[in-house]
Structure 1
Amino acid sequence: MPAPARFLSIAGTDPSGGAGQSADIKTASALGAFATSVVTAVVAQNTCGVRDIMPLPHSILRAQLDAVFEDIAPDSVKIGMVADSATARLVREYLERYRPKHVVLDPVMVAKSGDRLVDDDGFHAVRDILIPVADIITPNLPEAAMLLDRPVPADRAAMQALASGLSTLGATMVVLKGGYLSGAHSDDLVIMPNQQQWLEAPRIDTRSLHGSGCTLSSAIAALLPVSDSPLTAMREAKAYMSGALKRADSLKVGHGQGPAHHFFRWW
């Protein structure tokens, strides 16, 4: 058998196991990639909300990045929570030095609980430093609205109206997630240089949405090295996400918004 793709998560932690780096590692492993990780911040959170955030010193962040890039040479990198511009510049330094083939950025700014995860410095770090070096970004509707200083879209037409603005931020492709819309479907809009494509799926009736953004972006990153095109990776990631949400309530984890079932195909 061929060696698995090498996947790197650069993100914050989640001690409750459903979001952040926990979701990244579970997702990549479930999809057949070898998962490695670099921690940007220790986050005290669970299914009910975020309690505290402690960004790690840049010296230990640099040491982690050295350890992984010098030895493992990741095929794909998924970037999650980055708390400040200095951290973002450090991450960008390594991306530009080692040039991994695939970089997926989940512009994490607001948790599912509604808690804001970054301050203004962190917001500008994502928009101005990291998005320009990403191949794919995966904002949800509130994050896309923040990035463009526009109202949160309320329908598919409003999502499409954001496409031109999102395309100017610097990433090659955008997956604009439509989960915040109401209705029977949860459709995502893929924005590519010369076209747009809808990824359609029925809405799953569940409150277990903790870490769903982390999971989708990690699924895309894990699948990119073994897919014939980015759009194929996105479609397969969307199907995996739907399955993980469909079986999520069977986990019975937490008292708030529970996690997706990352191993629904095996357990």
Structure 2
Amino acid sequence: MAAFDVPALTRGISGLFTAKEEGKRFAEDRAREQQSQAVADLLSRSRAQELQDRGRRARESRDAAKARAAADKEATEQGQRQRADFILSNLGADDLERIKGFESQTLPDRLKTLETALRRQRTKADRVPRVGPKPPRDPEEVKAEERRDAILKKAAELGRGEMSGLPANEIMSAATLFVDQQQSFLENEPKFKGALGHVLQGVGSALNERISGQEPTSSDEDLVQARQMVQGLDPATARQELQTAGFSADEITRILGG
């Protein structure tokens, strides 16, 4: 019986295992490579599809914008044509003669020319020839206008001063009341003027008595009372009344706020 070559047999068996392991590793590497390639192909197709979708949406957006722009342009031109037709129907023969040849212009320029002609026509029609002096205005109309101006002026003063921050209707009501009361006082001034002079004289006399008695030369209470009494009078009349009542020049200046 032949003897076995144990080392050779061992090497053969080892070689078989080695070949098997190498084949297994090769198969695994091959599988991983194929898997990686499949993933790469999938990503590439996904990117390509995404790019195609983006390109399609961009084209659709551009097409929609072009369609909107075309529609807006058509609507604008339609409106310009309608406006031009309206102006043409309102212009006279002499107006059309003055702008002869405008048909060769572009639609926007043509419309500008027609608008100018229409304004010229209306200005000419609205112009009133001056044939003489203006007729006298109705006194009541003048009075109402002066009252309105006075109320607005007083409302502005109140809004900047003591009634700052209050509602506009309250300010207007206060201004209206003030102006109407002032006007009523001025209209009835001849009736009150004599009585006012006597009262002011009394205040002035009391003040002079205090001065002669070495009391303070100015009484805030007296000056405030005098100021209230002359409120609503024009400065010249108020000054004259105060002088007649015996107030000094310095006191009159303080009373009138000068």
Query: What's the TM-score once normalised by structure 1's chain length?
Result: 0.16
Which has the larger helix fraction?
Answer: 2
Query: What's the TM-score once normalised by structure 2's chain length?
Result: 0.16
Relative contact order (alpha carbons < 8 A, sep ≥ 6): 1 or 2 greater?
1
